[in-house]
Amino acid sequence: MITRVFAVGLLAGLCAGLIVALLQAFTTTPLIIDAERFEGGHSHQHASAMHEAPFGGAKLYLAHATAGADGDGHSEWAPEDGLERTVYTGVATIGTATGFAFILIAAMLLGGERITQNTALGWGAAAFAAAGLAPAMGLAPELPGMMAEDLFARQQWWIMTAAMSAVGLWLLLRGETGWLRLLAIPVLLAPHLWGAPHPAIEAGASAVPAELAARFAAMSLAVQAVLWALTGFLVGTFWQRIGAASEAEADGR
């Protein structure tokens, strides 16, 4: 069983990640790089570090990366713009897709679900709603250079929202009684009533053009939707093809 889970998770994550990495190279990454032109603006929370950095290319990116707590990031490693950066982004996307694939398989197994193309695609769609749409309602996909609240606070809200949305969707779709399904509504709404951490926004505070940010937000959500759908579909596909026979035998079916 463990072999099957890991084979399917790694394979589905690798394939979905590769395809989405390719998609990102043509959709979101050009927008991110474009937005970095505006990152040196007065509004950026690391503006002081930015001013010391030569403008443009990898140097700007390095400076931007000083977001770390030590604040002494000028010598820190970052991939060079171009091929190296694309490769690292690809690896990170494959890693994320693999993580998503494992979480999806784990959730379906623990939920007692049969894993097929159709069911895994459905779970992938629900996962996109929980970990893509719901957090984006409070924290819209961000470009470099946009104003944002403290990173840790945003990460906490993101994780809380994804987790509560997942629980809420489970209650809504799998709740055994009407009361459990009704409970889904407050669980789904709570993180949004609580509210995502936002800085006070003043006109002209962010140097990134709104048009660019809007395009990026829509594109990012589409890329996430593709990632979850592909991951689900491939988990279902590989699950049916890898180790299905030996499992059925072990199951006595």
Asked whether 171 and 190 are in contact (CB, 8 A), the reply is no
* Listed residue (172, 163, 104) closest to 130, CA to CA: 163
Q: How far is the CB of 15 from another protein (least distance, A)?
A: 16
Closest CA to 47 of 68, 63, 69, 70: 63
CA angle 100, 191, 142 (to 5 degrees): 60
Which of 7, 160, 221, 242 contacts another protein by CB under 8 A?
221
* Distance separating alpha carbons of residues 200 and 136, to the nearest angstrom: 18
Q: Which of 12, 16, 60, 73 binds another protein (CB under 8 A)?
A: 73
> Residue 60 CB: number of other CB atoms within 10 A?
19
Shortest distance, CB of residue 178 to another protein, whole angstroms?
29
With binding defined as CB under 8 A, does residue 195 bind another protein? no
Q: Which is nearer to another protein, 86 or 117 (CB)?
A: 86
CA distance 23 to 225: 12
Q: Does 101 bind another protein (CB under 8 A)?
A: yes
In a 3-state reduction of DSSP, which class is residue 141?
coil
Among 11, 16, 40, 98, binds another protein (CB under 8 A): 98
Q: Is 9 in the site for another protein (CB under 8 A)?
A: yes
| Interface contacts to another protein, rule CB under 8 A | 1-2, 4-6, 9, 24, 28-29, 32, 46, 61-62, 64-70, 73, 76-79, 85, 88-89, 91-93, 95-96, 98-107, 109-110, 132, 135-136, 139-144, 148, 151, 154-155, 158-159, 216, 220-221, 223-224, 227, 250-252
